């Protein structure tokens, strides 16, 4: 069990020392696959280009734990979202990842959208969701009193939830590492020399060569580029940008459900949803780009979001904005994931995990391991994973700063450092000493929420940085 | 709050925030025999923002000197100043929930004085688009990094751009230079302003932040409409204040729309009986002496409250018109000793008009020039003529 960030990789050149499986890409999907592999007596490596897990698409999504009610019936995505959603809800309960089952409302703003609701209910039923129900305009107003004028009705989807997108991949990675997986960060794989029938593959990374018998591509936006390294050209990833606005916690009282748009001819439209951190988010936009690094926001994008938000929830726009960000979805032109097993290469591609990868992650992990077995990997007997318990970042669950018993045992939990988010010195200390410690202040933010609040560091930034640098030295 | 062991306590006056305003209030109240006067400060050191303004600008003092003096004065007068103690919520109308390393408390007071200060709006709150690189600061974070933690060029950056046109932009420039950081330019939306020891792009706007991982530049549109990239690895967003009104709002204290601070009457009473508000919490940044004067001034009304004086009704709202951005106090319950108003821009010898229900209470030409970065204190004799049963009082500034 180890996490490395620098220096040479472990020597895998001697016979029998190669990894059994290497998963490339430590987003939520790669972390879930590595965790699933950790159940077996295998030598597993998780290799990531950036300095932390979850730095790609996984850190910047809308954080909804989908039911899959609107997936394409019969698709692999529909099945894995449905299964993954249930698995993650259970896993979250077990590990302390915050989930709030707030439910969703598909709000119809015109007659056409209203007329579409029965069709969506039928689609949901075909996806196994029979709990949807129609809400008329008056009923909707009672459910969401702050909705703007003109809403005609809604389809209620009771089981949709919001989840913490930051602790989820962190929990997987932590559990994988504690169960024996080697996590190599700052380690982009630049070339692949596929092995022959008996010889391991050689992965040429910036930190040296890594040999592995089986290989998994979980490279997110770069899944096509990685495929190309082994000579596969099955699909192209088009980055589809989603810009989002996160509003102050004072907005949380304005909305009770995930307010989804009715999908129509003009695309999916933007949603308004509570976050488990007690904010409200508005977004995402949908812009097809060709730059896989274009995670910036734009003036036009933000203006468009605000215009739509003003219509859905006018009072939202009176609140302060806490954060602006953008994420990229891995669109491939197909209405499904691009998962493919290549037995001749002892290689599985888990690509095209578009806008549902957080929800489906655990099911993707299980599915990938099944494919690896089909590809010839001997799984061996199952063994239990190391139990993990994640720090709670959710506002609906007890936080350390309000826990008298915990403070009595350890006064560091009574010392609030980040005041807006009420993050204590104890939590920052724990994150810095954790199994997969943060590499940057942003990594620390995703583990503790320090500096993620309304002041964005005006009050606490200098102190948090000092704590981080003290540890890093 | 969970678990046993929450300590219940009572005090006479609870002051939240040990900045110039809260400390001045506590000093006067303790000296006047208000009983147990307790000041809560969430930082490890009391003194508020001046602690990290390591320069002149506070009368004869540097910021830290000013802060130390204010703390000493409060303690000497008999107030209890507790640091590392954060007020996190309310358990009753005059009961605050508190977290400290020593444990959780619920403190009930006979009067609560909120003095929680203000902060600069962040880059996100200003909706500045672009990437999310490292190297983005507010003046508050910058000053603390340099003055309290000794950060220098190697850890801040080599070349900075400062954004803003309030006086605090000048402080940001000074702090950066002290830390050895080159200041490439100040980008100021206002067409005019004081001279600075660095290039100032006036009438210019930041369009976008550029850079992966680390900031590499800011895209700026100049007064001539042309855009260009200013190369830098650090940017400081200054000014654009918002009161730290979290505690006030969660306590149900109504805010003024224009200032986003609690709506107070001339004696700094909020609309919630027993709860007062002073200092930058009311409207963003004024010089420390102004905040401290408000702290001293609130004491009379607090003492009256402790002696059983009734809490006045909401009074007559005061609203801003013309080129007035905000006015404080926000409601009149009787004559006002002072009045503070902020112009929204520069005007030469503007006309100040005060009206109620179409009746002109006061009209005067102000001498000299008013500007957006400094408050105006007009005469207040007319406040005695306000009809307590009438409509809102509108205060305007107009071009002559
Ligand atoms: C705006 C937006 C909203 C979304 N909303 C939701 C939602 O509400 N619910 C939901 O379930 N899903 C949502 N998603 C989708 C979800 O975020 C993604 O499906 C998921 O994060 C994809 O994870 P991943 O691991 O495949 O990719 P990533 O997180 O991008 O991980 C891939 C990793 O591979 C690494 N990598 C790439 N190439 C190499 C290489 N050669 N060597 C080493 N490492 C490499 C990258 O550095 C990266 O860390 C949303 C996505 C976006 C963008
Ligand atoms: C960057 C900057 C530069 C400045 N430069 C100058 C200058 O050169 N000259 C000048 O005269 N003025 C200057 N000022 C203005 C001056 O600092 C303020 O006028 C003065 O500090 C205001 O006092 P205050 O007590 O209202 O607020 P603050 O000084 O902000 O004090 C508020 C205090 O309340 C505490 N607090 C907040 N919430 C809680 C809570 N829930 N529980 C416990 N404690 C809490 C905070 O930690 C803080 O210590 C500057 C301000 C800034 C921000």
Q: What is the DSSP string of B15-80?
A: EE--SHHHHHHHHHHHHTT-S-EEEEESSSSSS-GGGG--SS-BTTB-HHHHHHHHHHHHHHHT-E
Q: For A269-278, B94-103, B189-198, B347-356, which range has the lowest pLDDT when averaged over its residues? A: B189-198
CA–CA separation, A169 vs B19, rounded Å?
41
Inter-chain contact B3–A406, Cβ cutoff 8 Å? yes
Task: For B161-171, write each residue's pLDDT tens digit.
Answer: 999 999 999 99
- pLDDT-above-70 percentage for chain A: 99
Please report residues of B whose CB lies closer than 8 A to that of A455. 119, 122, 138, 140, 244
d(CA B70, CA B76): 10
Q: From chain B, pick out residues whose CB is under 8 angstroms from the CB of A469.
A: 155
Please indicate whether residue B282, judged by its CB atom, sits closer than 6 Å to ligand 2. Answer: no
Q: Is B1 on the interface with A (CB under 8 A)?
A: yes
The pLDDT of residue B3 is above 70: no
Give the closest residue to A219 by CA, choosing from A62, A335, A347: A347
Whether A38 contacts A175, CB under 8 Å:
yes
Specify the ligand 2 atom closest to the Cα of B56.
8
| B332 CA: distance to closest CA in chain A (Å) | 26
How many C-beta atoms surround the C-beta of residue B132 within 10 A? 21
Residue A210 pLDDT:
98
For ligand 1, what atom is nearest to the CA of residue A326? 1
Cβ–ligand 1 contact at A218 (below 6 Å): yes
Interface contacts (A, B; CB < 8 Å) = 136
**Neighbouring C-beta atoms of residue B344, cutoff 10 Å:** 14
Mutate to test the pocket of ligand 1, among A355, A361, A364, A368 (most ligand atoms within 8 A of CB): A355
User: In this model, does residue B271 exceed pLDDT 90?
Assistant: yes
Q: What distance in Å separates the CA atoms of residue A42 and residue A21, rounded to the nearest whole number?
A: 8
Chain B residues whose CB is inside 8 A of the A422 CB are 86, 88, 99
- Ligand 1 proximity of A359 Cβ (cutoff 6 Å): yes
Within 255-274 of B, beta carbons closer than 8 Å to A belong to none
Spatial contact of B118 and B243, defined as CB atoms under 8 Å apart: yes
pLDDT in the model for residue A472: 65
CB of A24 closer than 6 A to ligand 1?
Answer: yes
Where does A199-298 have alpha helices with state H?
A: 223-229
Confidence of residue B195 (pLDDT cuts 50, 70, 90): confident
Residue A110, SS3 per DSSP: coil
What's the gap in Å between the CA of A162 and the closest CA on chain B?
Answer: 23
Q: Do B5 and A456 touch (CB under 8 A)?
A: no
Is residue B206 a contact partner of residue B81, using CB atoms and an 8 Å limit?
no
Q: Which atom of ligand 2 is nearest to the CA of B246?
A: 41
Closest in A246, A322, A457 to B138, CB measured:
A457
Which tens digits make up the pLDDT trace of B291-314?
999 999 999 999 999 999 999 999
A249, A226 Cβ separation under 8 angstroms:
no
Whether A456 and B100 lie within 8 Å, measured CB to CB? no
Residue B61: per-residue pLDDT: 92
pLDDT at A473: 56
Which 3 state secondary structure label does DSSP give B365? strand
Would you call A265 exposed, middle or buried from its count of C-beta atoms within 10 A (0-12, 13-18, 19+)? exposed
A249: left (phi over 0), alpha (psi -120 to 50) or beta: alpha
CA distance A197 to A344: 8
User: pLDDT digit string (tens) for A100-140?
Assistant: 999 999 999 999 999 999 999 999 999 999 999 999 999 99
CA dihedral of A115, A129, A165, A341, whole degrees rounded to 10: -110
Q: Collect all residues with Cβ–Cβ distance below 8 Å to B128 and sequence separation of at least 6.
A: B206, B208, B209, B237
Task: Give A232's DSSP letter.
Answer: -
Cβ within 8 Å, pair A463-B3: no
The band of B1, judged by pLDDT with boundaries at 50, 70 and 90, is: low
The continuous run of DSSP H or E covering A84 comes out as: helix A76-95
Cβ proximity of A393 and A98 under 8 Å: yes
Would the pLDDT of A268 be above 70? no
Do the Cβ atoms of A324 and B124 come within 8 Å?
Answer: yes
pLDDT for the residue B299: 98
- For residue B54, the model assigns a pLDDT of 87
Contact A414 B100 (CB under 8 A): yes
Count of CB atoms situated within 10 Å of the CB of B335: 13
* B86–A416 C-beta distance less than 8 A: yes
Binding-face residues of A in 240-279 toward B, CB within 8 A: 246, 250
**What distance in Å separates residue A421's CA from the closest CA in chain B?**
10
pLDDT (mean) for B368-389: 95
B182 CA to middle of ligand 2, Å? Answer: 27
Instruction: Give the ipTM of the model, two decimals please.
Output: 0.96
Which string of b and e fits B313-327 if b means at least 16 CB within 10 Å?
A: eebbebbbebbbbbb
CB contact under 8 A, A322 and B125: yes
Given this model, what pLDDT does residue A1 score? Answer: 58
User: How is B271-314 classified by DSSP, letter by letter?
Assistant: SSTTEEE-GGGGTS---HHHHHHHHHHHHHHHHHHHTTPPPP--
Question: Per the confidence metrics, is the pTM higher than 0.80?
Answer: yes
Between B2, B5, B207, which is nearest A398 by CB?
A: B2
Q: Is A104 in the pocket of ligand 1 (CB under 6 A)?
A: no
Judge whether A397 is closer than 8 Å to chain B, CB to CB.
Answer: no
pLDDT band at B180 (very low <50, low <70, confident <90, very high): very high
Q: Which among B122, B144, B212 has CB closest to A456?
A: B122
pLDDT at residue B193 in the model = 83
Give the mean model confidence (pLDDT) for residues B330-355. 96
Atom 33 of ligand 1 has which residue's CA nearest to it? A25
* CA-closest residue to ligand 2 atom 27: B117
Average pLDDT over residues B116-126: 98
CA gap A87, A85 in Å, rounded: 5
CA distances from residue B265 to A193, A370, B176 in whole angstroms, order as listed: 76, 70, 39
| Partner-chain residue, chosen from B104, B124, B134, that has the shortest CB–CB distance to A322 | B124
Q: Over 60: is that where the pLDDT of A264 sits?
A: yes
Q: Does residue B2 sit at the A interface (CB-CB below 8 Å)? A: yes
Q: Is A334 on the interface with B (CB under 8 A)?
A: no
Q: How far is the CA of B17 from the centre of ligand 2 (A)?
A: 9
Which of B100, B145, B249 comes nearest A465 by C-beta?
A: B145
Q: How far apart are CA A152 and CA A84, in angstroms?
A: 33
Tell me B214's DSSP state.
B
> How far apart are alpha carbons B45 and B42 in whole angstroms?
8
B247 pocket-lining for ligand 2 (C-beta < 6 Å)? yes
Q: Do A402 and B99 touch (CB under 8 A)?
A: yes
Mean pLDDT in residue range A149-164? 97
Task: Please indicate whether, in this complex, the C-beta atoms of A440 and B134 are within 8 angstroms of each other.
Answer: yes
d(CA A210, nearest CA chain B) in Å? 27
Probe ligand 2: pick from B23, B39, B49, B168, max atoms within 8 Å of CB? B49
- CB contact set of A366 (below 8 Å; sequence gap of 6+): A36, A83, A87
Cβ distance of B131 and A456 shorter than 8 Å: no
- Measured CA to CA, the distance from residue B156 to residue B169 in angstroms comes to 17
């Amino acid at each position: 069990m180890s996490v490395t960030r620098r220096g040479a990789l472990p020597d895998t050149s001697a016979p029998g020392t190669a990894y059994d499986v290497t998963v490339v890409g430590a987003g939520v999907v790669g972390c879930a696959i590595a965790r699933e592999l950790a159940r077996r007596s295998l030598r597993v490596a998780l290799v990531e280009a950036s300095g932390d897990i979850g730095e790609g698409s996984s850190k910047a999504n809308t954080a909804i734990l989908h039911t899959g009610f609107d997936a394409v019936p019969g698709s692999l995505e529909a099945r894995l979202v449905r299964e993954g959603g249930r698995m993650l809800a259970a896993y979250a309960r077990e590990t302390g990842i915050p989930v709030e089952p707030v439910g969703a409302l598909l709000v119809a703003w015109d007659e056409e959208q209203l007329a579409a609701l029965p069709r969506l209910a039928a689609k949901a039923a075909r996806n196994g969701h029979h709990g949807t129900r129609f809400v008329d305009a008056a009923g909707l107003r009672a459910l969401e009193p702050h909705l703007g004028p003109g809403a005609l009705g809604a389809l209620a989807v009771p089981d949709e939830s919001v989840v913490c997108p930051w602790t989820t991949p962190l929990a997987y990675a932590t559990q994988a590492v504690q169960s024996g997986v080697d996590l190599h960060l700052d380690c982009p794989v630049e070339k692949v020399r596929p092995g022959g029938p008996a010889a391991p593959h050689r992965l040429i990374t910036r930190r040296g060569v890594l040999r592995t018998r089986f290989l998994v591509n979980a490279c997110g936006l770069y899944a096509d580029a990685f495929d190309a390294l082994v000579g596969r050209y099955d699909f192209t990833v088009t980055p589809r940008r989603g810009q989002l606005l996160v509003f102050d916690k004072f907005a949380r009282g304005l909305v009770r459900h995930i307010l989804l748009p009715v999908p129509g001819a003009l695309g999916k439209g933007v949603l308004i949803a509570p976050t488990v951190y007690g904010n409200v988010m508005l977004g995402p936009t949908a812009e097809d780009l060709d730059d896989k690094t274009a995670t910036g926001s734009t003036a036009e994008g933000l203006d468009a979001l605000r215009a739509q938000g003003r219509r859905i929830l006018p009072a939202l726009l009176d609140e302060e904005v806490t954060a602006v960000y953008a994420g990229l979805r891995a669109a491939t032109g197909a209405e499904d994931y691009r998962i493919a097993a290549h037995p001749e290469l002892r290689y599985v591609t888990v690509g095209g995990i578009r806008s549902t990868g957080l929800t489906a992650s655990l099911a993707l992990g299980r599915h990938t391991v099944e494919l690896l077995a089909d590809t010839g990997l001997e799984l061996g007997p199952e063994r239990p994973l190391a139990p993990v318990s994640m720090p709670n970042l959710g506002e609906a669950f007890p936080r350390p700063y309000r826990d008298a018993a915990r403070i009595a045992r350890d006064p560091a939990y009574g010392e609030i450092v980040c005041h807006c988010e009420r993050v204590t010195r104890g939590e920052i200390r724990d994150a810095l000493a954790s199994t997969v410690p943060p590499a940057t202040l942003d990594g620390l933010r995703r583990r503790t929420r320090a500096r993620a609040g309304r002041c964005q560091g005006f009050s606490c930034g200098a102190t948090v940085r000092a704590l981080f640098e003290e540890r890093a030295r | 709050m969970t678990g046993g062991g929450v300590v219940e306590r009572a005090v006479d006056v609870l002051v939240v925030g040990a900045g110039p305003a809260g400390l001045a209030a506590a000093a006067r109240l303790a000296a006047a025999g208000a009983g147990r006067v307790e000041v809560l400060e969430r930082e490890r050191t009391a003194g508020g923002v001046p602690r990290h303004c390591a320069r002149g600008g506070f009368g004869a003092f540097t910021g830290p000197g000013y802060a130390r003096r204010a703390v000493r004065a409060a303690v000497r007068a008999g107030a209890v100043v507790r640091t590392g103690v954060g007020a996190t919520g309310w358990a009753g109308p005059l009961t605050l929930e508190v977290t400290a390393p020593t444990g959780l408390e619920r403190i009930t007071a006979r009067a609560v004085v909120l003095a929680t200060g203000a902060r600069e709006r962040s880059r996100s709150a200003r909706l500045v688009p672009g990437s999310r690189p490292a190297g983005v600061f507010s003046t508050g974070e910058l000053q603390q990094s340099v003055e309290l933690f000794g950060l220098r060029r190697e850890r801040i950056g080599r070349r900075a751009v400062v954004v803003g046109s309030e006086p605090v932009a000048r402080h940001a420039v000074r702090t950066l230079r002290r830390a050895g950081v080159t200041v490439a330019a100040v980008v100021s939306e206002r067409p005019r302003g004081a001279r600075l020891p660095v290039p100032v792009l006036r009438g210019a706007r930041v369009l976008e932040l550029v850079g992966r991982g680390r900031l590499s530049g800011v895209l700026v549109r100049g007064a001539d409409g042309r855009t260009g990239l200013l190369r830098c690895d650090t940017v400081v967003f200054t000014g654009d204040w918002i009161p730290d009104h979290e505690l006030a709002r969660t306590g149900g204290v109504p805010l003024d729309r224009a200032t986003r601070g609690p709506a107070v009457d001339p004696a700094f009473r909020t609309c919630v009986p027993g709860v007062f508000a002073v200092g930058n919490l009311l409207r963003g940044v004024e010089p420390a002496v102004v905040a401290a004067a408000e702290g001293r001034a609130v004491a009379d009304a607090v003492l009256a409250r402790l002696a059983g004086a009734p809490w006045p009704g909401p009074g007559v709202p005061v609203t801003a018109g013309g080129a007035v951005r905000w006015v404080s106090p926000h409601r009149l319950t009787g004559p006002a000793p002072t009045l503070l108003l902020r112009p929204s821009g520069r005007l030469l010898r503007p006309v100040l008009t005060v009206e109620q229900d179409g009746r002109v209470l006061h009209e005067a030409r102000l001498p000299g020039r008013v500007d957006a970065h400094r408050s105006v204190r007009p005469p207040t004799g007319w406040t005695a003529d306000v009809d307590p049963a009438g409509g809102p009082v509108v205060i305007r500034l107009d071009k002559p």
